[in-house]
Amino acid sequence: MKNPLIKRIPKELKSDWHKYFVIVVFMVVMIGVISGMYVGHDSMLAAVYGGRETLNLEDGSFELNKKASAELLDAISTGKKADVRQYYIDKGIEEADKEVAKAIDEKLNESVTEAITENVKAACEAYGITDEDQIKEQVDEALKENLESALKEARETDEFKQAEKDAYKEAHDKVVEEVDKEWDEAVKKYDLDNPGFASVKTVIYENFYRNESEEYGDGSEEATVRVFKSDSKVDKASFNEGRAPETENEIAIDRMHASNVGIEIGDAIKVGGKEFEVVGLLSYVNYLTLHESNTDLMFDAFGFDVAMVTPGGFDRLTARIHYNYAFKYVNAPEDKVEKADNSENFLKALITQTLVYDNEIEDYLPEYIRQASNFAVSDIEGDSAGAAILCYILIGVIAFIFAVTISNTIDKEASVIGTLRASGYSKGELIRHYMSMPVIVTFVGAIAGNVLGYTAFKDLAVNLYYESYSLPTCHTVWSNTALVKTTVIPLVLMFFINLIVIVKKLQLSPLRFLRHDLVKNKRAKARRLPKWAFLRRFRLRILFQNIPNYVILIFGVIFIELMMCFAFGLPDSLDHYAKEAPGMMFAPYQYMLMGSEDDDGNVITTGEKTAERFDAKNLIYPKKKSTFREGMGSGGDESVTAYGIGNDSDYISLESRTGAGKVYVSSAFAKKFGLKKGNSITLNEEYENKSYTFEVAGQVDYEGGIAVFMDIAGFKEVFEKEEDDFSGYFSRNEITDIDDKYIATVITKDDIIKVTNQLNHSMGGIINIFRYALIVLTAALIYLLAKIIIERNEQSISMAKILGFKNGEIGSLYIIPTAIVVTLFAFISFVIGYYLMIWIFHVFMLQMNGYFAFFMSIPSMILSVLYLLIGYAFVSILDFIRIRRIPMDVALKNVE
Amino acid sequence: MKEEFLEIRDLKKSFGEGEAKQEVLRGMDFTVKKGEFCVLLGPSGSGKSTLLNIIGGIDTPDSGYVSINGDKLEEMNESQLTMYRRKHLGYVFQMYNLIPNLNVKENIEVGAYLSDNPLDVEEVLTTLGLQDHKYKYPNQLSGGQQQRVSIGRAVVKNPDILMCDEPTGALDYKTSKEILALIEDCNKKYGNTVIMVTHNEAIKNMADHVIKLRDGVVRHNDINENKITAAELEW
């Protein structure tokens, strides 16, 4: 025979259908969205990972100052470190030899000339010639006739040969001595004696590009486009639409960028002033997000583009070629640790080999920290992880609502439970009975949610990703993660939270259930209340009686307020940042130069009156490894720009001179890492094993980036810069008299706000939907929680009616305490949610490069409390209706 | 001759501590035979409900023991006690304690489910005169009808002992007599031992065995030779 208690379950569902409906809808939507995100993201990842193989994604890339010789590339691909000592010695000897040869020549010339002159003078004296002019004439003639042969003769003498040999030996010895003297420093600089070094063999591919200007629309719109050749064997592209370029006038560009700026196949765009026809929309495997530079806080699919042209098309362009080389390890590393080790070893080989082949590294980036190929993947994972946590919190809240409801039901059914237990029902049977409802509801929610997840919500998620990233086309794949995270974990959560509460509740003996003796710790005395009006005291009693319910209500409200802060605060923060951006510039124009000298070796100058020189250097600030997201460039270290600022700068004023040991930190830097005056910070060189330690002298109010500032003298001393060296100009006006080829970048307001533009574009629409969903969520949560309070008091409410209390009075008795609690905690929870959000935002920012702070405007603050109160107001009306509907016989029916 | 079925020996139980300590059972001794209709009679505070709870295994004595068919309850752990109640006991309370969202038939099935050899639910419904009401919910029934359901729930298990705690306490005269007649019928028909706690002196006349309690001890322990039917009872 089936347990007849099972028959209660459908009846219970039916009788309280609105409550379960709210809960099921809630769960279906939550689980559906999360499941959709997972399915979407798994499908996306499958496409991305597939692409990495088929499109031959690099293991890393480096850019050299000039085109590498075949010998250099061969040397690098062996993975072996070059003999730097020998290089230094060879180079030293080469220079020394030149100097010695020059010195010997001069000396020999001098002594032979002197000997000839002496001989001629002696001859003249013998002939009695005294006229100085005549003597000089004789000397010149003799020199002209005999110098060459005399020199030759002199060189033949053993004496000369010995002296020459000695001179060279002495010079060579001196070179070796010098090299040895500075060897320790070189060893340290290039980390040459690292016993952990193992050579890593690689295959190296040429992957040159040009950064050109891109004009589209009517020509007024402009972006930067990085143009690659279509015959590249590495880092290839997949085509979302169209095809690869086939003639030199055709171009394929990034799909995301095209969609953002409204370029379509067939459109003509100008790249570097030359016209091209767009024939394809693509996704480069190493540019899933359009990060122009790996240190960018955010990618910029508006202002930056990547494109493919034929080699002929590439030759049509004129911007300087970036000699970029991609490499792949011969033996693919298995995990991240191995990737990091390989990268480190490879870099050592690269640094030493480029040094000995007289080239220079402009840039080095192992793929595993490449933002453009990893950011999207990490972000997709991060998104769903965040959403899953959100889902778990909500399911936790629902589980508690269930637990409290069941706990109330158990209170109400105490005598029935007592009777059943007395009749021989075991605790286990009753636990299973009360557990079945939450488990069934969760199960239904999970199944329906998953069905939606694989259909409607998956496309939603995939489209969201397409809106943000330059991803390849994907196909739905089965996701085990989705199943576990959206079905197994919610069920387990629901199961255990309810199990704990129900087991605890059913611990009491049958007798105590029969006696309705359910309170474990009886208070010796009733709480004394002040001599207030009766109704007021009554209300207070109700408040005290419902404290456990209110505790859950408060948790719900805190959660809602946290979400509100997110929904209102994120767009506010973006707007605020965009609005503050002009103020975050040191100057309206900031020019970074390629070097401080032009091709002829002259220092670059400008006639612009407001221009002011500055020094800058990129360094690395090691982050604490406490971040939970890894795998992107930002996961490891923070990129810091060190500025050397002129003493009477018009653009950045330092309170006092820093000298070599102190720095001022930007306010963004201070906030992100909690730096204070007097703290000590250590910054590392990017590609050398060299660190600098500074004391923080104070803050410079600069929110635009992670930076440190020193006076120019200190900067030059610390970084061993020449007096004439500088990195660029700050200027109020555009500088027009410096050739473009000497300018590396110009930083304007648009560069700073590209972060917010991109975030706004990716999230703008969703945030609004999210906000409205939150109101519904708020109302639903409060509805469930307030319902518990009314249900618990049904009998008392019924009794109050019998005693003659009017509906209005009863409403005021039972609704006002809840209203007071909700209103009070709406404000308190807002404050808690606000500070929690600031913390969460900060933790999130720690994973990224750069910084911008969480900001919420006053109207948003008011609205986020108001929305909650509006949600509650609706619920109060429902509550009042519910109170009116409670019949009087509830109190009279002892069965209930 | 009926065999000794239930044995109660020197049963003591008190509540509270110190000055507030109240001795409810102060050494109680008696035995009940199988199939007997036994009435525990006494005024409020005489310890009859406490005694019933201890016999039912839902309360424990301070000392002494209860033995059913030779098995001592004090030697059973919680799950054995649950099994004991499940297999041997049926409970009828003054308050009917029915499950509000199960109908009459289903409430009776709640009892049947627990038993290895339950009675036929339909037959019990007929016996109790509930056939016409079997699809009604408890709150659609009168007090007497609800008590019938609660008797049905206890009887359908075909228990060895039917424990009745003031089953007519909340009912009027006429309904009380009907309920008593039903319990009597069940006792005769199914042969269960009935232990009924009541403070209604008149009910003793329908019992085989009358135990009068006062201040926690047995004052009288009589076998009723002149038993009458429930219908003949007057009070």
Note the pLDDT tens digit of each residue in A693-729. Answer: 999 988 888 887 888 999 888 888 888 888 888 888 9
pLDDT value of position A635: 43
pLDDT band with cut points at 50, 70 and 90 for residue A894:
very low
CA dihedral A595, A600, A603, A606 (to 10 degrees): -90
Of all residues in chain B, the one with the smallest CA distance to A424 is B86
CA dihedral A394, A396, A402, A407 (to 10 degrees): -150
Alpha carbon distance A461, A457 (integer Å): 6
Beta carbons of A451 and A499 less than 8 angstroms apart: no
Percentage helix, strand, coil for chain B under 3-state DSSP, each rounded to 5: 35, 30, 35
Dihedral (CA of A438, A440, A444, A446) sign: positive
Domain B4-220: CATH superfamily is P-loop containing nucleotide triphosphate hydrolases (3.40.50.300)
Alpha carbon distance A862, A882 (integer Å): 30
- Give exposure, A160-183, as e/b (b: 16+ Cβ within 10 Å): beeeeeebbeebbeebeeebeeee
**Inter-chain contact A426–B106, Cβ cutoff 8 Å?**
no
Greatest pairwise CA separation for chain B in angstroms: 55
Beta carbons of A749 and A585 less than 8 angstroms apart: yes
**Inter-chain contact A3–B83, Cβ cutoff 8 Å?**
no
How many CB atoms are closer than 10 A to CB B77?
8
B120 touches chain A (CB under 8 A): no
Of all helices (H) and strands (E), which one includes residue A206? strand A202-206
How many CB atoms are closer than 10 A to CB B57?
24
Is the pLDDT at A629 greater than 50, yes or no?
A: no
Bigger pLDDT: A117 vs A626: A117
* Residue count (chain A): 896
B47: left (phi over 0), alpha (psi -120 to 50) or beta: left
Of B53, B102, B138, Cβ closest to residue A511: B53
Q: What is the mean pLDDT of residues A659-670?
A: 87
Is the pLDDT at A525 greater than 80, yes or no?
A: no
Tell me, rounded to whole angstroms, the distance of Cα A347 from its chain centroid: 24
Cβ neighbourhood burial of A367 (10 Å; 0-12, 13-18, 19+)? buried
B95 touches chain A (CB under 8 A): yes
DSSP A524: S
Bigger pLDDT: A200 vs A630: A200
When mean pLDDT is compared over A229-238, A413-422, B87-96, the highest value belongs to A229-238
Q: What is the mean pLDDT of residues B185-204?
A: 90
Nearest in space to B198 (alpha carbons), one of B49, B23, B13, B35 = B49
pLDDT value of position B49: 84
Alpha carbon distance B221, B227 (integer Å): 15
Is the pLDDT at A667 greater than 80, yes or no?
A: yes
Greatest pairwise CA separation for chain A in angstroms: 157
Alpha carbon distance A490, A395 (integer Å): 6
DSSP B166: S
CA angle A391, A396, A401 (to 5 degrees): 125
B76 touches chain A (CB under 8 A): no
Beta carbons of A501 and A788 less than 8 angstroms apart: no
How many CB atoms are closer than 10 A to CB A211?
17
pLDDT value of position A227: 96
Of all residues in chain A, the one with the smallest CA distance to B156 is A423
DSSP A603: B
pLDDT value of position A297: 62
CA angle A450, A453, A459 (to 5 degrees): 165
Alpha carbon distance B48, A470 (integer Å): 82
Size of interface A-B (CB pairs under 8 A): 99
Q: Of A16-20, A824-828, B197-201, where does mean pLDDT reach its minimum? A: A16-20
pLDDT value of position A631: 33
How many CB atoms are closer than 10 A to CB A307?
29
Tell me, rounded to whole angstroms, the distance of Cα A278 from its chain centroid: 32
ipTM passes above 0.85: no
- Report the SS3 class of residue A644: strand
How many CB atoms are closer than 10 A to CB A332?
10
| Residue ranges covered by each domain of chain B | 4-220
Is the pLDDT at A688 greater than 70, yes or no?
A: no
A419 touches chain B (CB under 8 A): yes
pLDDT value of position A514: 84
Dihedral (CA of A510, A512, A515, A517) sign: negative
- Report the SS3 class of residue A322: strand
pLDDT value of position A896: 34
Is the pLDDT at A658 greater than 90, yes or no?
A: no
Contacts of B85 in chain A (CB under 8 A): 421-424
Is the pLDDT at A755 greater than 70, yes or no?
A: no
Of all residues in chain B, the one with the smallest CA distance to A515 is B95
Strand bridging mode A691-700 / A680-685: antiparallel
To the nearest whole Å, the CA of A852 is away from the closest chain B CA by: 58
pLDDT band with cut points at 50, 70 and 90 for residue A627:
very low
Is the pLDDT at A584 greater than 80, yes or no?
A: no
Beta carbons of A523 and A428 less than 8 angstroms apart: no
* Helix residue spans in A413-426 (DSSP H): 414-423
Bigger pLDDT: A275 vs A655: A275
CA angle A686, A688, A691 (to 5 degrees): 80
pLDDT band with cut points at 50, 70 and 90 for residue A764:
low
Cα→Cα distances B10→A80, A347, B16, Å:
96, 92, 20
DSSP A597: B
Q: What is the mean pLDDT of residues A560-588?
A: 81
pLDDT value of position A527: 66
pLDDT band with cut points at 50, 70 and 90 for residue A762:
low
- Report the SS3 class of residue A831: helix
pLDDT value of position A56: 92
Is the pLDDT at A628 greater than 70, yes or no?
A: no
Residues in Cβ contact with A634 at an 8 Å cutoff, skipping those fewer than 6 apart: A371, A847, A848, A849
Is the pLDDT at A690 greater than 60, yes or no?
A: yes
Residues in Cβ contact with B188 at an 8 Å cutoff, skipping those fewer than 6 apart: none
Strand bridging mode B193-198 / B37-41: parallel
- Report the SS3 class of residue A93: helix
A513 touches chain B (CB under 8 A): no
Is the pLDDT at A633 greater than 50, yes or no?
A: no
Of all residues in chain A, the percent with pLDDT exceeding 70 is 90
Cβ neighbourhood burial of A104 (10 Å; 0-12, 13-18, 19+)? middle
CA angle A274, A279, A283 (to 5 degrees): 105
- Give exposure, B187-218, as e/b (b: 16+ Cβ within 10 Å): beebebbbbbbbebeebbbbbbbbbbbeebbb
**Inter-chain contact B86–A8, Cβ cutoff 8 Å?**
no
pLDDT value of position A652: 84
- Report the SS3 class of residue A8: helix
When mean pLDDT is compared over A38-47, A197-206, A524-533, A731-740, the highest value belongs to A197-206
pLDDT band with cut points at 50, 70 and 90 for residue A848:
low
Alpha carbon distance B75, A892 (integer Å): 42
Q: Of A56-70, A876-890, B119-133, where does mean pLDDT reach its minimum? A: A876-890
End-to-end CA distance of chain A: 27
Question: How is residue B58 written in tokens?
Answer: 């839902």
**Helix A336-356 vs helix A70-78: crossing angle, to nearest 10:** 140
Of B58, B90, B99, Cβ closest to residue A511: B58
B24 touches chain A (CB under 8 A): no
Q: What is the DSSP string of A771-828?
A: HHHHHHHHHHHHHHHHHHHHHHTHHHHHHHHHHT--HHHHHHHHHHHHHHHHHHHHHH
Bigger pLDDT: A250 vs A334: A250
How many CB atoms are closer than 10 A to CB A791?
20
**Inter-chain contact A4–B110, Cβ cutoff 8 Å?**
yes
pLDDT band with cut points at 50, 70 and 90 for residue B100:
confident
Nearest in space to A886 (alpha carbons), one of A822, A821, A779, A792 = A792
Tell me, rounded to whole angstroms, the distance of Cα A149 from its chain centroid: 75
Is the pLDDT at A430 greater than 60, yes or no?
A: yes
Task: Give tens-digit pLDDT for A454-509.
Answer: 888 888 778 877 877 888 888 888 878 778 877 888 888 888 988 998 998 898 88
Q: What is the mean pLDDT of chain B?
A: 88
Alpha carbon distance B144, A534 (integer Å): 39
Question: Which of B77, B101, B163 is the mutation pick for testing A, counting most A CBs within 10 A?
Answer: B101
Task: Give tens-digit pLDDT for A95-147.
Answer: 888 888 888 888 888 888 888 888 888 888 888 888 888 888 888 888 888 88
Q: What is the mean pLDDT of chain A?
A: 83
Residues in Cβ contact with A653 at an 8 Å cutoff, skipping those fewer than 6 apart: none
pLDDT value of position A523: 52
